[in-house]
Amino acid sequence: MALPHADDRDLIAADISAYLEKQTSKELLRFITCGSVDDGKSTLIGRLLYETRQIFDDQMAALEADSKKIGTQGTNIDFALLVDGLSAEREQGITIDVAYRFFSTSKRKFIVADTPGHEQYTRNMVTGASTADLALLLVDARNGVLEQTRRHSILAQLVGIRRVVLAVTKMDLVDNDQGLFEAIAADYRSFAERIGIDEWIAIPVSGLTGDNVAGQGEAMGWYSGPTLLDHLESVPIDSAADQAKPFRMPVQWVSRPDQHFRGFAGQVAAGRVAPGDEVRILPSGRIGQIERIVTRDGDLDEAVAGQSVTLTLTQEIDCSRGDVIAAVKDPPHAADQFEATIVWMADEPMIPGRGYWLKLATQTATATVAHPKHQLNVNTLEELAAKTLDLNAIGVAEVTTDRGIVFEAYKDAHGGPPNRTLGGFILIDKLSNATVAAGMLHFALRRAENVHWQALDVSRETHARLKGQKPAVLWFTGLSGAGKSTIANLVEKKLAAMGRHTFLLDGDNVRHGLNKDLGFTEADRIENIRRIGEVAKLMADAGLIVLTAFISPFRAEREMVRRMMAEGEFFEIFVDTPLEEAEQRDIKGLYAKARAGELPNFTGIDSPYEPPESPELWIDTTKLSAEAAAETIVERMMEFEKR
């Protein structure tokens, strides 16, 4: 079995409670290993586990057996097999997924994330780096600093890792050459200076022999610096610096076990707080005072960054999940437009203008990303022009949310650890729920602070009352040739004959004016629908019944428009026609041109149409005539007005 360190065994025998308390109170260092393919990351972590006595007897026996069967070190133990848990990793001898391992010494506890080196798994590396205090960057002594070395250094710097260890591995394969080690360190030094990495150290190591991992090796007697483990045990940890920042705690949950208790649960992201402190609730700006700091083990006199607590206030103040409790004199800001660095992590490219879920701390909002200002070339650090971001691309773009969110700049203004909780975010695809990007906020755009809603004396309710009707948006969607415009036109005529105030926005007509600058790429289609949605919203605010006839092929954009409207005023009408039928009705010859390759990005041919999943009305044009469909829709509108 794995044995405790020698200086702990006597304490265990004398007082097991004191030993457990000692383990609990140890500092925790989180770090990642990263670098290029086959730089020896897994072998080095395996050696660390071995040297710190973290391997049980049965694990050791299994490791020895696996080393003989599938190892890459001949008759020697292959320490990489301790970490490469996926069968695909073991078969190929590479790391694919992020593997987390815990180990401890007498001085400190550690969680290490072994991240993949392949470029196509850069997104996995970002995941591992998101909570790390230090990056252990491995460089194969035979290859020196490579493109992936620079990429991972930039990513580490972007996510706020301030301390780097350059572990020059496999020194045993280059005869422990001092000159080669110093040349690699000098090469990395010039690159680190360019990207702003100041706190770094180079250590020559051999994961296979253990030299300079936990103890000095005779083979590299020329090296007089610390071993890798010595450095990991002594490097400063960011958590202490976080406690010196102003207090912030995002609210995760409102605890209301009975009518006598109402508390706000969350993890303290920065600073410290004590009963009696005044705090500000954001984004509302209301001020309250801390009454108690409640935990499972009893009330605390003070809570600091990293602790999970429940706070109660002396006043009854509206506060819910997503709000932020902060220091009253130094609160964060709220805005809805930002500049941000984005690391794209999805196979499909970013679509400017599309709505994604943005999650920042406990806040969730709909966000759209503009065309990138530039994309970063990780080799030259050039800022390149780009229309979108592909897998593993890093760029700077403006992000707009549908409501104000509480934030801080990711990079600390005073050179301290990054504001990860209120400065870092992820983007989630609304259809697949897959995380597609990670981002770091720079600042709020000035227009977000300078443009305000103007209060108007004549409300949308007044407009509707003057017209004697309920405003609504009838959103006709379907393939080209399905009959959307024909049916919408008939519906408007019938409503007008009944004295209703209407307006029809037709796809072709709008592209002659408002949207004549847009093409038919996926990004332009999204912007087309966004603009139409905004116009339809203004018309509905004026009390009109708005009819729109657009292909609007993507569910996410139709849902975006639905959220723009008042509750219950959006009616999605799916004009369902089989593709074959739509082609037969095509008097303009558009489908024939699309099939001949003359019309690229044509919906139904080489661009997808995503049918509604639960529309308010489903019109099957193979069973209903245009006149009958219009009657059905008008009847539904009359029912709506009677509610």
Q: Could you give the CA distance from residue 578 to residue 478 in angstroms, rounded to a whole number?
A: 10
CB 305 within 8 A of CB 257: no
**Does 88 have pLDDT greater than 50?**
no
Helix, strand or coil, per DSSP, at residue 197:
coil
List the domain boundaries for the chain: 6-237, 246-327, 333-446, 461-642
Q: Could you give the CA distance from residue 162 to residue 113 in angstroms, rounded to a whole number?
A: 17
The pLDDT of residue 61 is 75
The pLDDT of residue 45 is 80
- CATH superfamily label, 461-642: P-loop containing nucleotide triphosphate hydrolases (3.40.50.300)
The pLDDT of residue 451 is 56
CB 305 within 8 A of CB 269: yes
The pLDDT of residue 120 is 65
**Does 93 have pLDDT greater than 60?**
no
Q: Which two tokens stand for residue 506?
A: 């037709």
The answer to whether domain 6-237 has CATH 3.40.50.300 is yes
State the pLDDT confidence band at 82, using cuts at 50, 70 and 90. low
Q: Could you give the CA distance from residue 27 to residue 237 in angstroms, rounded to a whole number?
A: 8
**Does 452 have pLDDT greater than 80?**
no
Q: Is 625 a catalytic residue?
A: no
The pLDDT of residue 66 is 72
439-442-446-447 Cα dihedral, nearest 10 degrees: -10
Q: Could you give the CA distance from residue 627 to residue 96 in angstroms, rounded to a whole number?
A: 59
Q: Could you give the CA distance from residue 539 to residue 566 in angstroms, rounded to a whole number?
A: 12
Q: Specify the range with the lowest mean pLDDT, choosing from 92-96, 431-435, 510-514, 585-589.
A: 92-96
The pLDDT of residue 100 is 80
**Does 325 have pLDDT greater than 90?**
yes
Mean pLDDT across 77-85: 63
The pLDDT of residue 14 is 67
More confident residue, 463 or 11: 463
Q: Could you give the CA distance from residue 325 to residue 362 in angstroms, rounded to a whole number?
A: 12
- Residue 395, φ and ψ in degrees, nearest 5: -150, 170
The pLDDT of residue 409 is 93
Reported as a single tens digit per residue, the pLDDT across 551-572 is 898 888 899 899 889 889 999 9
More confident residue, 182 or 6: 182
State the pLDDT confidence band at 9, using cuts at 50, 70 and 90. low
**Does 414 have pLDDT greater than 70?**
yes
The pLDDT of residue 392 is 84
The pLDDT of residue 125 is 77
Omega within 30 of 0 (cis) for the link into 372 = no
Mean pLDDT across 99-116: 83
CB 473 within 8 A of CB 566: no
Q: Specify the range with the lowest mean pLDDT, choosing from 87-91, 212-216, 243-247, 424-428.
A: 87-91
Q: Could you give the CA distance from residue 201 to residue 223 in angstroms, rounded to a whole number?
A: 13
The pLDDT of residue 126 is 78
Specify which of 76-90, 261-275, 500-514 reaches the highest per-range mean pLDDT: 261-275
The pLDDT of residue 73 is 66
Q: Could you give the CA distance from residue 437 to residue 428 in angstroms, rounded to a whole number?
A: 7
Per CATH, 6-237 and 461-642 having the same topology is answered: yes
Catalytic residue among 432, 552, 607, 625: 552
CB 416 within 8 A of CB 402: no
The pLDDT of residue 71 is 61
The pLDDT of residue 46 is 79
Q: Could you give the CA distance from residue 511 to residue 502 in angstroms, rounded to a whole number?
A: 20
Q: What is the mean pLDDT of the chain?
A: 86
The pLDDT of residue 160 is 83
Reported as a single tens digit per residue, the pLDDT across 521-541 is 778 888 888 899 999 999 999
What's the angle, vertex CA 370, arms to CA 365 and CA 373, rounded to 5?
130
Q: Which two tokens stand for residue 319?
A: 């506060």
Architecture of the domain whose range is 246-327:
Beta Barrel (2.40)
The pLDDT of residue 255 is 94
- Looking only at the bridges linking them, the beta strands covering 472-477 and 570-576 are parallel
The pLDDT of residue 91 is 46
Mean pLDDT across 286-300: 94
Which CATH fold would you assign to the domain 333-446?
Elongation Factor Tu (Ef-tu); domain 3 (2.40.30)
The pLDDT of residue 75 is 62
- Residue 414, φ and ψ in degrees, nearest 5: -105, 15
Reported as a single tens digit per residue, the pLDDT across 352-391 is 988 899 999 999 999 999 999 999 887 677 899 999 999 8
Reported as a single tens digit per residue, the pLDDT across 10-40 is 666 666 776 666 667 788 899 988 877 777 7
Query: For the whole model, what pTM was predicted?
Result: 0.71
Reported as a single tens digit per residue, the pLDDT across 197-237 is 889 999 999 888 889 998 887 889 999 999 999 999 999 88
**Does 453 have pLDDT greater than 60?**
no
Mean pLDDT across 604-623: 91
Residue percentage of the chain with pLDDT more than 70: 88
Residue type (1 letter), 618? W
